Amino acid sequence: MGFMSQRDEKSDNKDTQQPGFQLSFLHPRFWSLWFFLFLLRLLVFLPLPLLHTMGRAIGRLFYRVNDKRQRIARINIELCFPDLSEEEKDQLVLRHFEAYGASIFDLAICWWASTNRLHRLTTVHGMERYKQLINHDQNVVLLTGHLLTVDLCGQYISPYRSGVSMMKPLSNPLLNWMMYRGRIRNGNRMVTREQGMRPMIRYLRKGYTGYFMPDEDFGSEASVFAPFFGVQSWTVTSLSMMARLGNAVVLPIFMHSLPGGKGYHLYIDPALENFPSGDDVLDATIMNKALENGVRRMPEMYAWTFKLFKTRPDGEEVPY
């Protein structure tokens, strides 16, 4: 990033909503969360295999007590992987919950561990694609999905060039503040969904890298139906607009956590070709295919507990 004037800084502050520390966080109702965060802060120094062993045990507990999320995950996996046997589907649901538990400690690494530690733990495939683009001052949007390592991936890539992403504020203000603090390391910026796409595009034009997750069905009217794992999915068209107005190349990026806490693999896939095409359905199909390819590398890492297909074409019932 180049030198930024005071005027640019003031403009940036208007584009972002920055949650800060509040004295109300010291209220007794937050003490249990403070204790949990303090414990995480201490445990982050332990070796990753040990952290993930503890995390998988927590995930198995989630699996046993959260019937609602287990049911949603099973429905999604049945829709997306119809060729798997019943036993294989059950195992994938369980592995997802185990990975979810381990991701608690991945988040702690994202918040508190050094960049050097994260880089030592990570094997990268395709970094030359990103470096070549940023070395030529090309605007870039990194396309990813709601994987359990999405924060860790953003943290890994940000030292190469500061990024901008979109965040849905959490209902718990203390946790929201902690999440925000973790995501703005290395000069990153965050905008909220309520602010819309304009701040994202302004940051792209200033040279920030976009980090975008367009795979959640939150009922936006700016969406089209496009296949995702062979299922018609209500897919936002925001990426096409961002790439066009921000004059940006779109690179798919995914980080996966290896079994046994053996580290992480980060994949940067080839840029989307002829994107945007001017056809929203075609663009959404290309985007969803890139996301699907990333998820298939390690499907347990995907957010199967989201209601991915809650908006349906006319005449179809909601599966949940």
Per-residue pLDDT of 153-212, as tens digits, reads 999 999 999 999 999 889 999 999 999 999 998 889 999 988 889 999 999 999 999 999
Question: Is pLDDT of 223 > 80?
Answer: yes
Give the pLDDT of residue 152.
95
Number of domains in the chain: 1
Whether 306 is covered by a domain: the verdict is no
Per-residue pLDDT of 60-83, as tens digits, reads 999 999 999 999 999 999 999 999
Give the pLDDT of residue 1.
39
Give the pLDDT of residue 2.
38
Whether 308 is covered by a domain: the verdict is no
Domain with 81, as residue range(s), is 28-301
Alpha carbon 151 to its chain's center: 6
Whether 8 is covered by a domain: the verdict is no
| Separation of alpha carbons 247 and 84, rounded Å | 41
Which of 264, 146, 126 lies closest to 211 in space, CA to CA? 146
Q: What is the mean pLDDT of residues 88-103?
A: 98
Q: Which residues on adjacent β-strands are paired with residue 124? A: 266
Q: What b/e readout covers 24-60, taking b as 16+ CB neighbours within 10 angstroms?
A: eeeeeebeeeeeebeebeeebeeebeebbebbbebbe
pTM metric for this prediction: 0.90
Instruction: Look at 1-15, 89-103, 199-213 and tell me which has the smallest mean pLDDT.
Output: 1-15
Whether 6 is covered by a domain: the verdict is no
Give the pLDDT of residue 159.
94
Whether 310 is covered by a domain: the verdict is no
Give the pLDDT of residue 220.
80
Whether 307 is covered by a domain: the verdict is no
At 20, the pLDDT band (50, 70, 90 cuts) reads confident
Give the pLDDT of residue 4.
41
Whether 76 is covered by a domain: the verdict is yes
Give the pLDDT of residue 15.
58
Quote the mean pLDDT of the chain: 93
Measured CA distances, 56 to 80, 101, 102, 261 (Å):
24, 5, 5, 10
Question: Is pLDDT of 3 > 50?
Answer: no
Q: What is the mean pLDDT of residues 10-34?
A: 81
Give the pLDDT of residue 18.
77
Question: Is pLDDT of 7 > 70?
Answer: no
| Separation of alpha carbons 61 and 93, rounded Å | 13
| Separation of alpha carbons 297 and 315, rounded Å | 33
Question: Is pLDDT of 6 > 80?
Answer: no
Whether 222 is covered by a domain: the verdict is yes
| Separation of alpha carbons 53 and 296, rounded Å | 23
At 301, the pLDDT band (50, 70, 90 cuts) reads very high
Give the pLDDT of residue 13.
52
Q: What b/e readout covers 209-248, taking b as 16+ CB neighbours within 10 angstroms?
A: bbbbbbbbbeeeeebbbbebbebebbbbbbbbbbbebbeb
| Omega of the bond leading into 173 within 30 degrees of 0 (cis) | no
Beta strand 264-268 pairing with 231-236: unpaired
- Phi/psi region, residue 219 (left: phi>0; alpha: psi -120 to 50; beta: rest), is left
Give the pLDDT of residue 113.
93
Give the pLDDT of residue 219.
75
Question: Is pLDDT of 128 > 90?
Answer: yes
| Separation of alpha carbons 141 and 283, rounded Å | 15
Per-residue pLDDT of 257-299, as tens digits, reads 999 999 999 999 999 999 999 999 999 999 999 999 999 999 9
